[in-house]
Structures are given as structure tokens and as C-alpha cells.
Amino acid sequence: MPVPNYQTARLVVGRIFCSLLLLQAAALPAAQAHTTQTEPALAPAVAEPAALVYPFLDTANSRWFYFSSAARPFGMVSLFPDTALNGEWGSGYRYDESTVKGFNHIHEWQLAGLSLMPVSDHRPLSAQQVDYASAFSHDNEIVRPGYHQLHLKRYGIGVELTATSRVGFSRYQYQPDQPQQLLLQLGGVQGPSRLGHAEVWQIDQHQLAGFVTNQGTERRVKPVKVYFHLAFSTPVQQLDAWRANQQFANVNGISGDDAGLRVSFNSSDHQVSVKAGFSYVSADNAKLNLQSELAGWDFAKTSADAYAQWNQALARVHITGGSLTQQRRFYTDLWHALQGRRVVSDVNGQYMDLSGQNPKVRQLPLNAQGQPRFAMHNSDSFWGAQWTIATLWPLVYPQAATALGESLIQYGRDFGLIPRGPSGGQDTLVMPGVPMTPFLVSLAQKGLLQTPASELLPMLQKNHSAAGLMAKAGYEHYSASGGGFSYYHQRGYVPYPLPETESNYGSHRRGAGQTLEYAYQDFALAQLATKAGDQAVATKFLQRSQNWRNLYDTKSGFIRPKQVNGNWRTPFDPLEYEAGFIESNAAQAIWFVPHDIDGLAEVMGGKTTLVNRLEQAFQQAAKQDFTAGTAHAQEGHPEYRRTPINYGNQPSIQTAFIFAAAGAPEKTQYWSRRISDTVYSHLTPQRGYNGDEDQGLMGSLAVLLKLGLFQLSGGLEADPVYQLGSPLFDEACLQLSAERRFCIKTLNNGADRPYISQIKLNGQLLNRPHLLHSEIMDGGVLELQMSAEPAQQQPSQ
């Protein structure tokens, strides 16, 4: 077997790891595939954080969009080998699967794109079109941010992948004297989508163009075309096609359902490179994207650029100290915080709006240089964003935060409603409520939106009304009932269950959970109203934000599902999963009042009671490591789901910081550190986020916990507040801008010393366990004295 041209790869890899002790091991293809067995207790300072990323983390539990290799931050293209294809959840790069079933270029929320598969044999096309998967081994695999290399055993083909934002770049090394073939899979199931009608047409001997169509799904109901433009390094010798069970020799294109194309080459060096530009607007735009981003054929440079871009992004947080595993896990978390929610607009600022009766090509506003002022993004839900990306991104990726925020607002202008989860130019209506509100309000408070508060306010207000998304359940595209808004509006709660006479369309109809979310989201809206100077609106929504109280049952001490007739739903089991609460139970949901901990303490009988109950919950949850199993697929399992805290899903990930808000910051320090060390400490393909990472949410959470920064309210205050946790590293510096840094230093830190005994901000003693956004943004140093015991006297709130 001839070795693919690894020269370039070696050079790049060599440069990357030059400052690391693990240089020798990592430079070998096999190294990245295994977690380190023994390691020094302390790692050196991080020079190239991208080298520390462990892309295999949790990949035994991958869902379609989870993994990443040949991709840029927020890049439209995320190109990698798919080892499983069926469905949204169990697909993509699944570590324990043994065969590669194609290399899809688009792995996004509800979207797949073109899958390429190099093959090489003399079987007829009728055999190749159905039986093409190749065994591979992780031993022959190199993966780093922006690059992937593996070997297809069946065909003896070496594959290398890299990408720019909108262009996938593949290089195949075939065996001498063997056919050089490439399959374009245009149909079948690709992760979340069944691909429907597709077309490919030949432009010339070096170029093909076309599109695949993602059929509608329950979530993303309208079909989405993904256009591509392919450029080959060597002339096409012949195109053969199939459609269903028919094969066609010597064609110049193909179209239809369940179609595909085989491209044959005859390159003298047995190497074929393919550049694949993508667009959601047109094949012309796909070509434009390709030409703009990747005009040449320098694979090594493209791969190095990709790596450098990741390195730059990750270097926005510079850590010192901790073990090598902790460092690797930290940068893997940070890297995951930048996965998903990808760009869908083209270099010229065109994007597709599918919300109306016909597809509409729209144009983003341009700046003085003729560049789009921001890019449009796809996005899974913002459910839990208030405790994850809403905090992390504004600190270290403010431009990404702005782009995602403005993107949502732009969709709002197009659609008439700011969407819950835009995918393919339409709202997937993923999850309940309006979690976009706290996300956007937090950005507004942090000065990260171009849109003024006065313009944003009425747009958000609409979503908090009968005409908006509060009236719709999850994925409720064809009615406006499951959101239970009319009840929420008139009676102050969403009943559970809703009457059977109403529409049954949509999911996540869990009235008690919806009520809690709406109340919090109303609180967020009130903050924006205040900012916009509209006191009447502020007062109205502040009042509505107290609706959580309508479901507090004094007798049981829980938030309880209430029926339409006003009676509590019986029987009541606080640990019963999904009985009125979304992917959660009453024991977890009682804590979902992040905007009114004082009020919660009051109804519970005081802060001491609250703290004691929460402490009990944590002690109980600790028995199963604070999660419901170690993967999202296990969350509903009867053995795991009866937990009062679950750090494997969003509904209760704020709980550790409620202690601090109730006057017990030492417990926040203790439990948040326990969670860092337990839930987000692994570094294997088998275990990572113990649930659903969810497009950067849990990655962000892990980063925040390890930095010791959190925003219980989601950063809604005029000068948003950060609670302090228990930082993991000796030092973590946030690069706020080119000139400004904010560093969190810990002294005497250690796994057994989670407590903060002293806080200094820029050398001055600080007598509170929180910071203001403005304090961080001014830059400076936070110095924390760590201790094995809680401080005698806790700083006051």
C-alpha cells in the first residue's frame, strides 16, 4: 500500500506541536486516536492551543453535527467522514463504527450536503452505488482542527481533508494501476435529512456543479437545496450515473431522486484533489464562494491556514497550569463552543429566505467596503443559551455574538418573527418558548448589537404575545395552541395537559416547564424595555415574570403542573421525568427561577431552607455523577432519569450558582468545582458531555465552569453580573481585544482546594463573589486565593 503524500501534513503537524512535550507522540498518525495514559501532573504553558484539542471527545455518542475536523470556526462547510448515516442523532462521525460511508460537507442543524466517496475497483456501477463503505482504522488517522487524514482500507485510498469557510478541500491518493473513482451521493439518508431531488451538470473537464435537496423534516418542514460547485485537479475521464436501479454510462450530468454520479479520473500521480464550494442560494454563488476563498490548489497552505485560524480563536483564552488532560479538555470544550450555528450566507452577502410561499434570495446590508456587515447563521435552539454561549461568546468572541444576534434579528425582519432555531432559511421552531429573548437582551446589555433596543423591543414583544412563538409548542408549525399562551396570558400559567380539543401539533407541551421559561423570558424582555426607556412595557413584563409563583405548591414545596381547571395534576412525583416539564422533572425545575432567587427563597421559607434543599439535591445527584447517564440517549432511561440535578442537559445547569445567589458562595465553589472535575473532565471517545452537547452550549458551559465565571440571570442586568465559581487553572487570560486582557489568577489552587478565601481585583480586595461586565471589559487581573476550607466569613452578596 502506497503511503499518501504525508509530507505536507508532517510539516504542518511538526510546526504545531513544536512547543509541546508530547511532540513526538502527537506527530504520529496514531497518537491523536488515543487518550494519554500517563502524563506530567502539570502541563507547560500553552503556546498553540489548537494542538491540544482532542477531536475524538465523546464521538462514540456523536450526533450528526457534533464532530468537526476539516472546518473553520462557524464555517458553512464541515467536512468529515461519516461512519453512520441514519437519522439526526446516531449519525455523523461515530467513533466505534468501523466503516466510512462517505464524506459529507455539510453537518448542520437539520441539514446535510453533498457526500463524496472515493472508491477504486472494477465492479460495475450497479454494485458500487450500493456497496461502497470502506473499513478504516483510527490507527491510520490524524485529526486536528481544520484537518483530517485517514486511510480507506477497502480501496487502499489515502484521504486528506481541509476546508475554508465555504469550501471543502479533499485530496485522494489512489493505488497505482487502480481505478481513480469518486462517487457523488445525491440521494438517500444523510443524517437528519433524506435527500430528494438532486441535479449535477458538467461544466467542463475540470468542473461540475449541482445541488442536493434536503427533504423536509418534522422540524425543518420545507425542503432546502444545498448547491455545490466542484473543481478537480485533474481532468474528468468519464461520468457515469445512476438513478434508483438504473445505470447510465457516459453522461454529462444526472438528476432525480436517489441519483448519484461516478467520476473517473486518470491522474498520472494517482492523486486527485477536489475543491467543493457550497451555497444555499445558487450554484453560481457556490462557484463565487469557491473562487473567493480558495482560488488555488495549495492543500498544505489551506490546511495550515485552517489550523492557524483555529489556533487564533482558541488563543483568545490563554491558560496556565492544570494537568495536560485538563488543558486538552479545556481547549476541546472551547473548540466545541465554536462548533455549529454555522454561516449560511455567501461571500457576497446573499442568503436564502424560505419562510414564504416561494424561495426568496435576500441580500445582507453591506459596509463601506462592500462587505456584508454580518453573516447569516443557522442555529439549533437557544434553550439554555443564557448560561452558556450568551456568557462566553460576548467575552471572547464578541464578533461571533454580534453576528449570531444580528442574524436572528434579520431573520425576524424576513419572517415577521425572530426565530427559535433557523435552519435553511426557515424557523425549525425547536424547543419551547422564546429563549432567543434572554440571549438577545444579554447582547444588547453588553453593547454587542447593531440594532438599537427601541427597534428590537417590539420585535421581541411580538414573540411574547398570542401572535408570537410563546403561542407555539416545539415544532408547532401549523397551529398556535401548544404554547398555551392564551392560558399563560389569562390565568398566569400554562396548563398541563392542554385540552384534547386543541391542536395536537407540535412537541414539548409541558405546561409547568413552559410557564417557568416564559416567566424568565418575560423578565428578560422587561430589562430590554427598561433599556429602551419604555417603563410601561417593563412593568407589564416584570409583573408577568412573577407567573412562576402560580405553579408553586406550598404543600409539596415544588413547582407543580396545574390542570386547565386550576387543580394540581395528580398524582405528583417530583422525580418523574417529562411529567409537565421539558426533558426534566419537578425536582430540577424548582430551581428554574434564575431571575428571582430571593422570591424562590421566600416561598420556600427562607434562604437557609433553599440552600439546604439544594445541598441535598446535589448530594443526591452526586451519586450518579450529576447527570442522567453518560449520553443523551440514556437521559430518559428509568435507571438514570430520576435525578434532582442533571448537568447533561440544559434545564438545571445553573443550579450550582444558586447557592451564591442565596448567600452561600462557598457551596457554589465546591459544587461547581465538583462538576468541572466530574462531568467535564473526561477525555475519551466514550464520554464527554454526558448528554447532548447541543451546538456549543455544553462546551461553553464547561469553559465557564473552568474559568469560574457564570451568569445566573444570563447577563440581563444593565451592567451584567458574573458570579464567581472555582477556577480550574493557575491562570486564565481572556483576550478581550487586541490590546486588552482580563486574567483570572488562582493561588494555591488544587483539586482539593476549591474554595476562594480571598478576592482581589487589580490588586484591590473585593468583598463580593461577583464581577460586573464593565469590570471585566476594562481589563485587569482577578486574583483568587484558593483554600481547602470555605472562608470563615463569606463575602456578602
Say what angle helices 453-463 and 398-415 make with each other, to 10 degrees: 60
Q: What is the grid cell recorded at 734?
A: 481572556
Instruction: Find the part of the chain contacting a second copy (CB under 8 A) among 38-46, 144-152, 246-254, 631-639.
Output: 246-254
250 binds a second copy (CB under 8 A): yes
**Long-range Cβ pairs for the range 741-744 (8 Å, 24+):** 741/779, 742/776, 742/777, 742/778, 742/779, 742/780, 742/781, 742/782, 743/780, 743/781, 743/782, 744/707, 744/708, 744/709, 744/781, 744/782, 744/784
How many residues form the binding site for a second copy (CB under 8 A)? 39
3 state DSSP class of 605? coil
Site for a second copy in 352-391 (CB under 8 A): 357-359
- 54: Cβ–Cβ under 8 A, 6 or more apart, which residues? 32, 35, 328, 329, 332, 683
251 binds a second copy (CB under 8 A): yes
- Report, in Å, the least distance between residue 775 CB and a second copy: 49
Name beta bridge partners: 410: none
Instruction: Please report, in angstroms and rounded to a whole number, the separation of the first and last CA atoms in the chain.
Output: 66
- Report, in Å, the least distance between residue 357 CB and a second copy: 5
| 166 vs 673, beta carbon nearer a second copy | 166
257 binds a second copy (CB under 8 A): yes
Cα separation, 286 vs 282, in Å, equals 6
**Nearest CA among 730, 719, 734, 729 for reference residue 772:** 719
| Phi, psi for residue 412 in degrees, rounded to 5 | -60, -40
Site for a second copy in 505-524 (CB under 8 A): 505
| 26 vs 239, beta carbon nearer a second copy | 239
With CB under 8 A as the contact rule, the residue among 133, 283, 403, 716 that binds a second copy is 283
484 binds a second copy (CB under 8 A): no
Characterize 90-125 residue by residue with b for buried, 16 or more Cβ atoms within 10 angstroms of its Cβ, and e for exposed.
Answer: bbbbbbebebbbbbbbbbbbbbbbbbbbbbbeeeeb
With CB under 8 A as the contact rule, the residue among 64, 74, 147, 211 that binds a second copy is 211
- Report, in Å, the least distance between residue 265 CB and a second copy: 18
- Report, in Å, the least distance between residue 203 CB and a second copy: 11
Q: What is the grid cell recorded at 476?
A: 408547532
Centre a 10 Å sphere on the Cβ of residue 772 and count the other Cβ atoms it contains. 15
With CB under 8 A as the contact rule, the residue among 6, 89, 248, 568 that binds a second copy is 248
| 292 vs 479, beta carbon nearer a second copy | 479
With beta carbons less than 8 A apart as the criterion, state whether 438 and 717 touch.
no
With CB under 8 A as the contact rule, the residue among 4, 118, 192, 223 that binds a second copy is 223
Instruction: Find the part of the chain contacting a second copy (CB under 8 A) among 160-168, 217-225, 309-317, 630-638.
Output: 217-225
Q: What is the grid cell recorded at 49?
A: 492551543
With CB under 8 A as the contact rule, the residue among 43, 106, 208, 241 that binds a second copy is 241
Site for a second copy in 745-764 (CB under 8 A): none
- Report, in Å, the least distance between residue 660 CB and a second copy: 45
282 binds a second copy (CB under 8 A): yes
3 state DSSP class of 194? strand
| 219 vs 462, beta carbon nearer a second copy | 219
501 binds a second copy (CB under 8 A): yes
- Report, in Å, the least distance between residue 263 CB and a second copy: 14
Length of the chain: 797
With CB under 8 A as the contact rule, the residue among 90, 196, 497, 780 that binds a second copy is 196
227 binds a second copy (CB under 8 A): yes
Pick left, alpha or beta for residue 398 (phi over 0 → left; psi -120 to 50 → alpha; otherwise beta).
alpha
Instruction: Find the part of the chain contacting a second copy (CB under 8 A) among 293-301, 412-420, 499-507, 568-576.
Output: 499-507
State the Cα torsion 128-129-132-133 to the nearest 10°: -170
| 16 vs 198, beta carbon nearer a second copy | 198
With CB under 8 A as the contact rule, the residue among 273, 323, 325, 479 that binds a second copy is 479
Helix and strand numbers (H, E) in the chain are 20, 36
- Report, in Å, the least distance between residue 743 CB and a second copy: 52
245 binds a second copy (CB under 8 A): no
With CB under 8 A as the contact rule, the residue among 185, 379, 428, 481 that binds a second copy is 481
Interface residues with a second copy (CB under 8 A) are 196-197, 199, 201, 209, 211, 215-216, 221-223, 227, 241, 248-257, 282-284, 357-359, 477-481, 501-505
